[in-house]
Structure 1
């Protein structure tokens, strides 16, 4: 069964949602039959990369908040992240456009490393304070998960996978997805947001049961007659 996850690297709830979904999936007895595909979504496609300011200052400037209020909001999310074992450091988070990071993710997905790429990007942005719009940063992240240096550079120095990113975003619009994370299971059920683990568990189980029923081979009623078997015996 396929689970598609629309996400943006700079979305704090996407990383939290990833952990909660993973916890639910880990407890699912048929987890080895679940295929996960990450899809691109941009919360702020017009964002200009600026390594000189952190995300708290950016939010204060853009939304007209005080810096203190922006920090309070981020502190609240940091506490939520800690509850699922994540360490957020918004004071170090670099304001960066995520389009290049999404192209990087598509390269990783081509090699079956999509989930590892998302994990590396989230950690780089929220924990390590790295610029996810920087080619050298993405090269280092890519080699860390097993991608080839030359291929990473070739992709990032061109517009390769740009259309794939745009296609994911267009598909999200067609499905009516307005925010992320957004999980689509078996192309039937959508889960919006970083829901509690039981919500993911229930939806995974329901989706899988239907998927299993849809893909099970029909039982045949056999009318016996003269036939030959693979061992050469005919009767």
Structure 2
């Protein structure tokens, strides 16, 4: 089973959708699963130092502080129901996620899923700036990636261009929101649906992948 995941680490619904998918996979266990993570940078104009989080979100959505808090409260409850922590009180900055996507791209396959989760945790539980290269390197080194080599790779223009191009390519191919999941290049799930929806999608992907005997 091949699963392509388009996401951005500052998207709370991406974290919720990821949790629902992985919970579904824990129940499913029908086939070996290969997960490919794809960048979808929500806002690449945010500078490395970030913007003040709440004012940025208010301006972006065109709403008042009270309305924004209601959104945060609702999303936090959805996270709790899924089993993930979304601490909006800890988040002080709206951040640029390009570096975090570069880290995911550079992480070896055996630790990639863990690195993705660590990035989500860094933002939604610790409120860290994902646009700070030192924060990103610290996440990588926690999973035995070499700090010196990682800094060089993160500053490599080819790595930067690949991540930005892949994010743009997703939009050009009709992906306008995340999370977005594709099973076996056929079954698409747009959004952070329930575990049951993901189980149904996985089973449908298997059925479509069965060769027809003539």
* Fold-level similarity (TM above 0.5): yes
Match of 2:38 in 1: 39
Taking structure 1 as the reference length, the TM-score comes to 0.83
Rounded Cα–Cα distance in structure 1 between residues aligned with 2:3 and 2:162: 18
Q: Which runs of 5+ in 1 are unaligned?
A: 219-235
Distance 1:144 1:18, change over 3 A: same
Distance 1:9 1:40, change over 3 A: same
Distance 1:65 1:48, change over 3 A: farther
Rounded Cα–Cα distance in structure 2 between residues aligned with 1:95 and 1:170: 20
SS in 1 for 2:145: coil
Rounded Cα–Cα distance in structure 2 between residues aligned with 1:111 and 1:18: 17
Root mean square deviation of aligned Cα: 2.0
Bigger-Rg structure (1/2): 1
- How far has the Cα of 1:50 moved from its partner? 4.3
Match of 1:26 in 2: 26
Matched, 1:170 2:168: yes
Match of 2:126 in 1: 128
Rounded Cα–Cα distance in structure 2 between residues aligned with 1:85 and 1:185: 23
Rounded Cα–Cα distance in structure 2 between residues aligned with 1:63 and 1:183: 25
Rounded Cα–Cα distance in structure 1 between residues aligned with 2:69 and 2:143: 32
1:33-182 superposed matches below 5 A: 33-50=32-49, 53=52, 55-93=53-91, 94-108=93-107, 110-182=108-180
Q: Which runs of 5+ in 2 are unaligned?
A: none
- How far has the Cα of 1:36 moved from its partner? 0.6
SS in 1 for 2:28: coil
Larger mean Cα displacement after TM superposition, 148-157 or 178-187: 148-157
- How far has the Cα of 1:163 moved from its partner? 2.7
Larger relative contact order, structure 1 or 2 (CA cutoff 8 Å, min sep 6) = 2
- How far has the Cα of 1:27 moved from its partner? 0.6
Rounded Cα–Cα distance in structure 1 between residues aligned with 2:58 and 2:22: 32
Rounded Cα–Cα distance in structure 1 between residues aligned with 2:42 and 2:171: 12
The answer to whether the Cα contact below 8 Å between 1:103 and 1:160 also exists between their aligned partners in 2 is: no
- How far has the Cα of 1:8 moved from its partner? 0.6
Matched, 1:187 2:212: no
The answer to whether the Cα contact below 8 Å between 2:51 and 2:95 also exists between their aligned partners in 1 is: no
SS in 2 for 1:104: helix
Rounded Cα–Cα distance in structure 1 between residues aligned with 2:160 and 2:193: 30
- Say how many residue pairs are matched: 213
